[in-house]
Amino acid sequence: MTTYLWNPPPVAALPVRGESALLPVQRLFFVGRNYHAHAVEMGKPVDKSVERPFYFTKSIQTLTRSGATTPYPAQTQNYHFEMELVVAIGKAGFQIPAQQAHEYIYGYAAGLDMTRRDLQLVARDKGRPWDLGKDVEHSSVCSEIVPMPGVVIEQGEIALQVNGTVQQHSDVNKLIWNIREIIADLSLFYHLVPGDLIYTGTPEGVGAVKPGDHITGQVAGVGEVSLHVGQPA
C-alpha cells in the first residue's frame, strides 16, 4: 500500500444536479476576452477575423463551491468579479472538429472568475504572466454541474448582482468564440479529459467587491452561483 509523508489533498470535485456522485474536476481553463463589450472595457477590442482565442489556467486548488465565504485576497485593492458560463468536458478528446464538439460536453455550470484586476493589468501591460492576477486562492467559483450531455448552449441570459444590484447583464449568444469553436481550438493545444472545466469568458460590467459583499450570478437554463466575500485572512 502506498503511503505518503503527509495526507494528500482531497479530490477536487463538484456536486452534480440529480446525482449523488460528485464530478471529479481535472483542470481549469479560462478564455480571455470573449465578449466584445468586455474586451472594449478592458481597452483591448478583439477582431475575430485576425485573432485567435487565448487562454489562461488556474490551479485546481482555486476551485471553490458556490455559496462559500472566501477571504478577501492579499495584495490587491481591486478584487473583481467576472460572471461566466462554464463547460464541463465529459469525454477525452484531442484536435476535436467543431462540428463534433457537442460529443465532448458533459454539462454546464455558472461560474465566477475572481480576479486581482490591479495585478492582472500590471502583468498584462508589462508583458508578464497573469498568475498573480488570476491564479488567486479561492478564485474559481463554480455552481453544481448541470448534466446536459451533447447540448451546445448557443444563447441565454447571463447576469450578475452584487448585494442585489445588477452589475453584469448580457447573453451568451454574444460570445466571440462560441462553445464549439472554443472546444475545437483549446483541443488543438491540450488533450482534453473528463472533468476539465472551461470558463468561457465574461461579459461587460466587471467591477470590484469589498469584504461583506454578496455576489450572485445566473446563466439562464443552467443555474446560479453565489459567493460571500469575507474579511482578509
Nearest distance from C-beta of residue 3 to Mn ion, angstroms: 40
Taking CB atoms, the residue at the shortest distance from Mn ion is: 113
Nearest distance from C-beta of residue 115 to Mn ion, angstroms: 7
Pairing of strands 140-142, 63-65: parallel
Q: Which residue has the cell 478592458?
A: 42
Is 55 in contact with 196 (CB distance < 8 Å)?
Answer: no
Nearest distance from C-beta of residue 68 to Mn ion, angstroms: 18
Is the Cβ of residue 16 or residue 178 nearer to Mn ion in the bound state?
A: 178
Q: Among candidates 92, 47, 78, 66, which has minimal Cα distance to 193? A: 92
Is the Cβ of residue 16 or residue 42 nearer to Mn ion in the bound state?
A: 42
CA angle, residues 165, 169, 171, in degrees to nearest 5: 155
Is the Cβ of residue 113 or residue 144 nearer to Mn ion in the bound state?
A: 113
Is the Cβ of residue 82 or residue 144 nearer to Mn ion in the bound state?
A: 82
Is the Cβ of residue 103 or residue 190 nearer to Mn ion in the bound state?
A: 190
Distance in angstroms (rounded) separating the CA atoms of residues 112 and 120 = 16
Is 117 in contact with 133 (CB distance < 8 Å)?
Answer: yes
Nearest distance from C-beta of residue 82 to Mn ion, angstroms: 4
* Site for Mn ion, rule CB under 5 A: 82, 113, 202
Nearest distance from C-beta of residue 57 to Mn ion, angstroms: 12
End-to-end Cα distance, the chain = 37
